Amino acid sequence: MKHQTASEPKRRNLWARIEQVLQQVEKPSRYINHELNSVHKEISEDLLRFGLAYPDTYEVGLPNMGLQILYEILNRREDVFAERIYAPWVDMDTVMRESGIPLFTVETHSAVSDLDVFGFTLQHELIYTNVINMLDLAGLPVFAKDRDLSYPIVIAGGPGTVNPEPMAAFFDAFVVGEAEELIHELVDILGGWKKSGGTDKIVLLEKLSQVPGIYIPAFYEVAYENSGLVKGLITSHGAPAAVTRRIVKDFSKIAVPARPIVPFVDAVHDRCSVEVMRGCTRGCRFCQAGIIYRPVRERTKDQVVEGIATILENTGHEEVSLSSLSSTDYTSIAPVLKELSDRYTEQGISISLPSLRVDAFSVQLVKEIAKVKKTGLTFAPEAGTQRLRDVINKNVTEQDILNTAKIAFQEGWQRIKLYFMIGLPTETQDDLQGIVDLAKKVVDVGLQTLDASAKSRLMVAVSVSAFAPKPDTPFQWVCQDTLEQFEAKQKFLGDRIRGRHLTLKWHNAKSSVIEGAIARGDRRLSDVIYRAWRSGCKFDAWTGEFNYDNWLKAFEDAGLDPNFYAARQRDLDEVMPWRHIDTGATQEFFKAEYENALTGELTEDCRTGACSGCGVCPNLDAENLLFGK
């Protein structure tokens, strides 16, 4: 971290060198700047320079809602300049290394090493090697212990912080939970520190460790049993025994980002998104997001409608997405869609809902907003039989699915996507056969419902992913399927899901196995991730870039077995490596839910039914906030 001196601030603008190499790479517009709504400030020593990094390509990272919110919040402050950083694609990475160009920011093409803070979002485990690659490309020592305060402070937030241990060796600090309010406390400390000219990193980290929600991994030493299990933690430097997740209690107090950046290249989601609510309490037992964003906190109807109006004015986008974990559960969804439809349909602005409940209400909603385009509808039964859907607490019956499909076909859709998982706890051959049967029944409904000309275009696309158990869920103890089991199940489905109106797509089971091993890993996995990166692994979430053999070799070289982390049933009282990260939900709740799963007992959504006692509301002093009820 650069502290204030009488000298000029570092302003290494790398543009002249970057420009020279752009003709050698694909999509050069990933690396230029001045997109509409990007923020530019005069660099001075009074500014805290904050890098917001997404460890994947520009197109994948730019739409990330969390970073957009922080970008606006930080840049509203006069004492901070936040800039974006994305992972250069493989071709650019090579060219930069050959030409000696370090990792740079988008806004000013500054070297990242000139910043004060280098902050990452950890969205999933398969971008962890990209984090190390970006640290290295920036010219920073990748291990936190090797960096003094002449380097930026390296921090992370995002869902990966529920179990930060596999990445503990690389980060100085983790922000656990929602950062919209915490970020000001962080910036005040770091800005004050910069002005003070302090050079003792330990003292700075001690200050940070006192902020609720900030986890300093260097202050926690892990002890292991001979068996390799975690025995416990020894804390030092006055760090708290557990770090509790921060949340924004009233999400409607957080302004909708008014000026999202409009990219030059097509982003993954080239539209404006408004987060209508945070959290989901439907209680699907496999779902980590359903725990770590609780309780449900909505934005008001007016806030959403006016937020969209402002964004459209500021961006010129022609599509609006109402985002959340389950937007059809937003209690003001119908009036919001009606108002948006009244205001914008004639202007040709389309509205989309990223996730749909399996019910007629959802289809009717989508019908309202998709008057022109009927590209396809996606539903997620997740499992093929009622028994297994009860195990995972997916409160949907086969009749719901078939009725919903029928309404969709009646309303003119010809293409339906069904999303399933394989490898769920207690799954049997009958459950796999259930996926086949259900997909065929949906085809039959289509053939019975569509008229003769539409029938030829009927398509039911089945998408199957391989389940990876996640920390802080009722399935955190279960044994993940091995690669061989996943592949046998994929073959079973591949042999049976065939026919004129059916397609089958599955996700790479090898990457799910690695994802599963890292997700519930301990601190020793830092060595594995480092070795995997050293052997060339990066962009592991990209088919074509993922290298399973290199990952296996990295585990082997580190003396660790991926099956110890992925394919092992844990004892319910085992000390989990993430035990000191407190999301608010209790282990008693997870145990009770795991028992309920094994007996097929359903648990209600606490928005509409009884509180199921997950612990989040009392532990975080919060409650579900629903405005449209």
Say which DSSP state 70 is in. H
Collapsed DSSP state (helix, strand, coil) of residue 466: strand
- Residue closer to ligand SF4 by CB (options 354, 613) is 613
- Which two three-digit tokens encode residue 133? 């690659």
For the CB of residue 605, give the shortest distance to ligand SF4 in the complex, in Å.
Answer: 8
For the CB of residue 617, give the shortest distance to ligand SF4 in the complex, in Å.
Answer: 3
- Residue closer to ligand SF4 by CB (options 247, 436) is 247
Collapsed DSSP state (helix, strand, coil) of residue 520: coil
For the CB of residue 257, give the shortest distance to ligand SF4 in the complex, in Å.
Answer: 26
Say which DSSP state 104 is in. B
- Residue closer to ligand SF4 by CB (options 552, 611) is 611
Rounded-to-integer distance, Cα 385 and Cα 475, Å: 19
- Residue closer to ligand SF4 by CB (options 460, 625) is 625
Which residue is associated with the tokens 């093929």? 384
Collapsed DSSP state (helix, strand, coil) of residue 161: helix
Rounded-to-integer distance, Cα 561 and Cα 574, Å: 18
For the CB of residue 267, give the shortest distance to ligand SF4 in the complex, in Å.
Answer: 33
Collapsed DSSP state (helix, strand, coil) of residue 428: coil
For the CB of residue 616, give the shortest distance to ligand SF4 in the complex, in Å.
Answer: 4
The end-to-end CA distance of the chain, in Å, is 48
Say which DSSP state 152 is in. -
- Residue closer to ligand SF4 by CB (options 19, 621) is 621
Rounded-to-integer distance, Cα 619 and Cα 156, Å: 23
For the CB of residue 135, give the shortest distance to ligand SF4 in the complex, in Å.
Answer: 37
Adjacent-strand bridge partners of 464: 420, 506
- Of the CA atoms within 13 Å of residue 538, those in its CB half-sphere come to 21
Rounded-to-integer distance, Cα 308 and Cα 511, Å: 37
Q: Estimate to the nearest angstrom the gap between the alpha carbon of 423 and the chain centroid.
A: 21
- Residue closer to ligand SF4 by CB (options 106, 622) is 622
- Residue closer to ligand SF4 by CB (options 385, 624) is 624
- Residue closer to ligand SF4 by CB (options 535, 619) is 619
Which strand (E) or helix (H) includes residue 230? Answer: strand 230-235
CA distances from 107 to 35, 81, 85, 261, 351 (A): 9, 10, 9, 11, 30
- Residue closer to ligand SF4 by CB (options 90, 611) is 611
Collapsed DSSP state (helix, strand, coil) of residue 516: helix
Closest to 581 in 3D by CA, of 127, 214, 287: 214
For the CB of residue 296, give the shortest distance to ligand SF4 in the complex, in Å.
Answer: 7
For the CB of residue 358, give the shortest distance to ligand SF4 in the complex, in Å.
Answer: 22
- Residue closer to ligand SF4 by CB (options 64, 583) is 583
For the CB of residue 615, give the shortest distance to ligand SF4 in the complex, in Å.
Answer: 6
Q: In what order do the strands lie in the sheet with 214-215?
A: 80-86, 48-54, 117-121, 153-157, 173-175, 214-215
CB 486 within 8 A of CB 466: yes
- Residue closer to ligand SF4 by CB (options 9, 613) is 613
Q: Which parts of this chain interact with ligand SF4 (CB under 6 A)?
A: 281, 294-295, 606, 611-617, 624
Closest to 580 in 3D by CA, of 71, 133, 162, 27: 162
- Residue closer to ligand SF4 by CB (options 522, 593) is 593
For the CB of residue 612, give the shortest distance to ligand SF4 in the complex, in Å.
Answer: 4
- Of the CA atoms within 13 Å of residue 400, those in its CB half-sphere come to 16
- Residue closer to ligand SF4 by CB (options 65, 617) is 617
For the CB of residue 585, give the shortest distance to ligand SF4 in the complex, in Å.
Answer: 7
Closest to 149 in 3D by CA, of 193, 214, 184: 193
Closest to 493 in 3D by CA, of 591, 387, 621, 383: 383
Spatial neighbors of 345 by CB under 8 A, at least 6 apart, are: 371
Rounded-to-integer distance, Cα 568 and Cα 98, Å: 43
Rounded-to-integer distance, Cα 356 and Cα 359, Å: 8
Collapsed DSSP state (helix, strand, coil) of residue 597: helix
For the CB of residue 473, give the shortest distance to ligand SF4 in the complex, in Å.
Answer: 14
For the CB of residue 618, give the shortest distance to ligand SF4 in the complex, in Å.
Answer: 7
